[in-house]
Amino acid sequence: MKNSEKGQVIIIVAVLLIVVLTFLAVIIDGGRLMVEQGEINRAADAAGKAGLIVVGDQMVTQVVGAQTAAASVTLTATPVGNSLGPTLTPTPPADDFFSWINDDHRKTLIAPPMQTLVATYVLGSAEENDHGLSNPAVTRFEITYPDNYHPGDQNIQIRVRISRVVAIMFGRLFNIEEGVLTGNTIQTIPQR
């Protein structure tokens, strides 16, 4: 090999090394960002499910109250020839949970006090997962309950959106030092 060819090989190796290192930096950052995106999504899912637990507990409380009230009605026999006794209203089967929830119960499930309670549990779950408002990297935290609700809907939904600033380790190569990742979830519970 001639001296001039040795110089050319060094230049080619140097350029290829820069390309390979840049490619490696993109792979490392991309993998780390995928992991961070997964963490944000899991935190949003967990927060939404925490809110659903509150709604589910309230539904169970309402159904148990309705079933207890129906079971505690005492009937007295009416002698023949006198006025009619109490009228019996048919009740749903005890194991048909959603039939026991009436429109008044549904109004309670979406009333402001319940919205506040759901939001408290959602935020508490996010805080436990280090994706709440106390984390300075969290730039946006939205809770929508009930989400797109209409009284005749089959389901009640909770929407949680968390946005967080993340550092891009090798971003200086591309003049990008940080980015924002967002996790969204919609959690649903039947009401009918």
Distance CA 64, CA 28 (A): 54
End-to-end CA distance of the chain: 82
Element (H, E) at 178: strand 178-190
pTM: 0.76
Task: Provide CB contacts within 8 A for 66, sequence distance 6+.
Answer: 100, 101, 102, 105
* Residue 127 domain-assigned (yes or no): yes
* Residue 107 domain-assigned (yes or no): yes
Distance CA 163, CA 28 (A): 22
State residue 1's pLDDT score: 57
* Residue 79 domain-assigned (yes or no): no
State residue 192's pLDDT score: 79
State residue 50's pLDDT score: 95
Distances (CA, A) of 70 to 67, 128, 129, 153, 158: 5, 41, 42, 26, 31
* Residue 71 domain-assigned (yes or no): no
What range does the domain containing 170 cover? Answer: 3-66+94-190
CA nearest 191: which of 49, 46, 60?
A: 60
Q: Among the residues of the chain, which ranges form H helices?
A: 3-71, 103-109, 112-128
CA nearest 158: which of 124, 139, 184?
A: 184
* Residue 174 domain-assigned (yes or no): yes
Distances (CA, A) of 28 to 31, 35, 121: 5, 11, 35
* Residue 41 domain-assigned (yes or no): yes
Written as tens digits, the pLDDT of the chain (192 aa) is 566 666 788 888 889 998 898 888 889 888 988 999 999 999 999 999 999 999 999 988 888 888 888 777 666 655 555 566 555 666 777 777 777 888 888 888 888 999 999 999 999 999 999 999 999 999 999 999 988 888 788 888 999 999 999 988 877 777 888 889 999 999 998 887
User: What b/e readout covers 132-141, taking b as 16+ CB neighbours within 10 angstroms?
Assistant: beebeebeeb
* Residue 147 domain-assigned (yes or no): yes
Task: Please tell me the total count of domains within the chain.
Answer: 1
State residue 119's pLDDT score: 94
* Residue 72 domain-assigned (yes or no): no
Grouping H, G, I as helix, E, B as strand and the rest as coil, residue 88 is coil
CA nearest 27: which of 170, 167, 166, 165?
A: 170
